[in-house]
Amino acid sequence: MRKFILIFLFISVCSVAYNQVIKGTIFDNKTKNKIYSASVYFNGTSVGTLSDQDGNFQLNVSKYVSMPLTISAIGYYSVTLTDFLAGKPVLIYLNPKLFELNEVVVNAKSHARERRENLVIFRNEFLGTTGNALNCKITNEDDIKFKYDSDNDTLKAFAVKPILIENRALGFKISYYLDKFEYYKSSSSFFYQGNIIFNDDLSTEGTQKQYFERKRKNTFLGSRMHFFRALWVDNLNSAGFTVKNSADETLKYNKIVVQKNDRTKYLKYSGSLGIAYYSKVPASFIIFLREEVYFDNNGYFDPSGISWEGEMARQRIADCLPYEYEAKE
């Protein structure tokens, strides 16, 4: 069983010095105590480390110079560094989630039916409803707490500990540090935010390995990761993608990509974009929340700058692959 050190979540681009090591110390923002065994990792990679008993860590940043650095720990909100310099020690303060626990009242016996219904909603929105999601299992559902806000018709989910997921479709064991989950019942819409860590690769030799490789490739093809990798190298057509505007006009690379240097590219367009994968009609749509959205050659993009609709919006936690994944021919 191959071990992944650590991996990913949501946020923006950082600028770092090349070929150096970042060092720092992690503290509880309330007590100022140092935090042991906090996870320090790059979004979308398997590269990371843990803080020691004195809250100290160090990590080589040369391999992922354009990626944000995320810090997570049990019982705390995650923090993402978007502006730091290698070689200069950083002090990181994590905020505890204690106030959330005071808001949540759960009685498993008297609210058993309600809890089962909430778990169904959470699984569908968090894991998704694709074939991969049907083969995913949350192994510590008891750690997930719910609160219903009747005034806003909103279901909220909380978890102090990371949510543990066994993805039997893609062959990964995952930890997810949940920072926020809200499901708006009146509109059947939702929002969630957090950070993923790929703990174990379950692929082995023989038939099982081939099965996982096939499932991973099928998940990758036509995905958001696939799209941004193809866009980076100006290879959308060969990869099977077509990008159209609201007037159904096909847009070329130079109409939607702004390149500021060899390592920095942004997706930019004045309107929404439709994405078709081996089809004449777009099945997925990008709605810009920012004027331009950073993306990288490994498929990483700034998720805070984009809202998805259509087929790609169905891709949830169950369809996540680590950014170092390479599809085999």
Instruction: Give residue 288's domain range.
Output: 221-319
- Is 215 inside a domain boundary? no
Residue 329 lies in a domain: no
144 and 233 co-located in one domain: no
Gap between the Cα atoms of 131 and 320, Å rounded? 13
Domain match, 92 and 142 both: no
Whether residue 313 is found in the same domain as residue 257: yes
Domain identity same for 183 and 225: no
Q: What is the CATH number of the domain that holds 25?
A: 2.60.40.1120
Residues 87 and 104 reside in one and the same domain? no
Is the residue at 207 inside a domain?
Answer: no
Domain boundary among 66, 96, 126: 96
Domain co-membership, 104 together with 197: yes
Regarding whether 233 and 156 lie in a shared domain, the answer is no
pTM, to two decimals: 0.85
Residue where a domain stops, chosen among 35, 62, 96: 96
Say yes or no: 171 and 110 in one domain: yes
User: CA 43 to CA 45: how far, in whole Å?
Assistant: 6
CA–CA dist 317, 216 (Å, integer): 13
Whether the CA torsion 123, 124, 125, 131 is positive or negative: it is positive
* Local confidence pLDDT in tens for the 329 residues of the chain: 444 433 333 333 333 334 478 899 999 999 999 999 999 988 777 788 999 999 999 998 887 777 788 999 999 999 998 777 666 789 999 999 875 545 555 555 557 888 999 999 999 999 999 999 999 999 999 999 999 888 889 999 999 999 999 999 999 998 899 999 999 988 888 999 998 888 888 887 677 888 999 999 999 999 999 999 999 999 999 999 999 999 999 999 999 999 988 788 999 999 999 999 999 999 999 999 999 999 999 999 998 899 999 999 999 999 999 998 998 77
Amino acid at 30: K
In a domain, 43, yes or no: yes
Same domain, 236 and 155: no
Asked if the structure places residue 183 within a domain, the reply is yes
Domain boundary among 134, 169, 201: 201
E strand or H helix at 92, and its extent?
strand 90-94
